[in-house]
Amino acid sequence: DNCRCAQCVNQDTLQRNFDTFAIPKDISPTEISAKAEGVDILWSDSHRSHYTWSWLRSNVQSTQPKELLNQESLWGAAISSAPPEVDFENVMSSGSSTGMAELTSKIRQYGFCFVVNSPKTPEDTEKLLESIGPIRNTHYGGFYDFIPDLALADTAYTNLALPAHTDTTYFTEPAGLQAFHLLSHTPPTNKPASEVLGGQSLLVDGFYAAETLRRESPEDFEILRSVKLPWHASGNQGVAIAPDMAYPVIEVSGDKLHRIRWNNDDRGVVPLDVDVDAWYEAARKWNAILKRKDHEYWFQLEPGRVLIFDNWRVLHGRSAFEGLRRICGAYISRDDFVSRWKLTNFPREDVIASNMQLR
């Protein structure tokens, strides 16, 4: 079933070329030959297979699948002294993938990264994001370039303050990456450009907040991990989106944090078949942690400095602002981002071996 020969596997797509269930049920090896480059096996149905030593090491040597690791660094307000960043030209270099490897690795490690010295145009911003992966289309469209005119029924399209939240909680698979590039901020006619206009951006490491909650109040962590909630998007005519099922605020895989899903404005009704008072108490504690000064990273978006962050981990918000801000950006699916990270940071052979053993 795992033969890698050209007859069994399409060498262009690496997909199987045969019917697994046509293989005789009682098949067995009749001849095994170890050679310098790998192992040859003659099967009882006369088929010959060849397995390279590298393939065998990746797939057979251990019962544990090969894992591609990236060090995860939790952070709080102190990250303001040295936020992760890469240069636009390095990322977009056609002669090297080093810049893209650095960008995706920093997003994996910190949950966000700035791309500095970016051209101050929506066209170049779109090219940057498409170099990571295809832009994801939603009911808001694809690549966005907007001013706060409430053209779409969402508070993001206003000049109001927004608390820390993740986007698209109402999708079965929330957006993986999100990007913002402030192209301009024009003051109102009655104010000089030198005056502070507001609109500071906020990032909170949701994994750091979740670990804080788990350490300080394990019972509340368990409630937000176990109680599944409805989420919805219902503000636009002709749109009433909800995920395939209810999801908790904190998702884990084993003990490892997997995803944060939190936008209180998009939350439905807490189910009445759980301890509702206990859920609200846990949510109150969670909300308080998100608002701690040592968990909040505040900064000002600037033209030429593109922010890209992991929407499964990092919550974002902003302060209210005056004037007219023009911002562009997009969503990118999680799978496309992870694929780019893997292929720019690890050998392709290791990536494929890891993917084929994913658990």
Residue 66 has pLDDT above 60, yes or no: no
Q: Is residue 69 part of a domain?
A: no
Q: Is residue 83 part of a domain?
A: yes
Among 61, 89, 111, give the residue marking a domain's end: 61
The DSSP result for 125-145, as a single string, is HHHHHHHHSPBPPBTTBSSEE
Q: Which of 20-34, 45-59, 328-342 has the lowest mean pLDDT?
A: 45-59
Asked if 222 and 336 sit in the same domain, the reply is yes
Tokens of 216: 């300080």
Q: Which phi and psi angles does 84 have, rounded to 5°?
A: -65, 140
Range list of H helices, 251-316: 276-290
What is the rounded average pLDDT for all residues in the chain?
91
Across the range 251-256, mean pLDDT stands at 95
Of the pLDDT bands very low, low, confident and very high (cuts 50, 70, 90), residue 150 is very low
CA–CA separation, 148 vs 158, rounded Å? 4
Across the range 258-269, mean pLDDT stands at 96
pLDDT digits (tens, 9 = 90+) for 197-247: 788 999 999 999 999 999 999 999 999 999 999 999 987 788 899 999 999
Asked if 44 and 123 sit in the same domain, the reply is no
Asked if 44 and 165 sit in the same domain, the reply is no
Across the range 329-344, mean pLDDT stands at 97
Asked whether the beta carbons of 244 and 172 are under 8 A apart, the reply is yes
CATH number of the structural domain spanning residue 169: 3.60.130.10
Beta-bridged to residue 310, according to DSSP, are: 177
pLDDT digits (tens, 9 = 90+) for 160-197: 889 999 999 999 999 999 999 999 988 887 777 667 67
CA–CA separation, 100 vs 89, rounded Å? 10
Q: What is the domain extent for residue 28? A: 20-61
Q: Count the residues in the chain.
A: 359
Which residues neighbour 285 within 8 Å (Cβ) at sequence distance 6 or greater?
A: 213, 216, 217, 220
Tokens of 100: 């893209």
Q: Is residue 353 part of a domain?
A: no
Asked if 111 and 223 sit in the same domain, the reply is yes
Range list of H helices, the chain: 53-59, 88-92, 98-110, 122-132, 206-216, 218-226, 276-290, 334-345, 348-356
pLDDT digits (tens, 9 = 90+) for 98-125: 999 999 999 999 999 999 999 999 999 9
Residue 14 has pLDDT above 80, yes or no: no
CA–CA separation, 351 vs 108, rounded Å? 16
Q: Which of 128-142, 158-172, 173-187, 345-359 has the lowest mean pLDDT?
A: 345-359
Q: Is residue 304 part of a domain?
A: yes
Helix, strand, or coil here: 181? Answer: strand
Q: Is residue 1 part of a domain?
A: no
> What is the predicted pLDDT for the residue at 199?
87
| Cβ atoms < 10 Å from Cβ of 273 | 5
C-alpha distances out from residue 229 to 106, 170, 291, 357, Å:
31, 10, 22, 32
Q: Is residue 250 part of a domain?
A: yes
Q: Kindly tell me the burial class for residue 54, based on how many C-beta atoms sit within 10 Å of its own C-beta (0-12, 13-18, 19 or more).
A: middle
Decide which of 44 and 59 is more confident. 44
Give the DSSP H/E element, type plus range, for residue 194: none
Tokens of 103: 């960008």
> What is the predicted pLDDT for the residue at 151?
47
Asked if 97 and 169 sit in the same domain, the reply is yes
Of the pLDDT bands very low, low, confident and very high (cuts 50, 70, 90), residue 61 is low
Q: Is residue 352 part of a domain?
A: no
Residue 340 has pLDDT above 80, yes or no: yes
> What is the predicted pLDDT for the residue at 153?
44
Asked if 54 and 103 sit in the same domain, the reply is no
Tokens of 80: 């303001």
CA–CA separation, 76 vs 83, rounded Å? 11
Q: Is residue 149 part of a domain?
A: yes
Asked if 109 and 210 sit in the same domain, the reply is yes
Q: Which of 47-61, 105-119, 327-341 has the lowest mean pLDDT?
A: 47-61
- Measuring CA to CA, which residue among 326, 323, 322, 330 is closest to residue 301? 326
- Measuring CA to CA, which residue among 231, 236, 249, 230 is closest to residue 170? 231
Residue 92 has pLDDT above 60, yes or no: yes
Residue 351 has pLDDT above 90, yes or no: no
Across the range 289-297, mean pLDDT stands at 98
Total domains in the fold of the chain: 2
Asked if 57 and 81 sit in the same domain, the reply is no
Decide which of 17 and 267 is more confident. 267
Residue 263 has pLDDT above 80, yes or no: yes
Total-model pTM: 0.86
Asked if 138 and 32 sit in the same domain, the reply is no
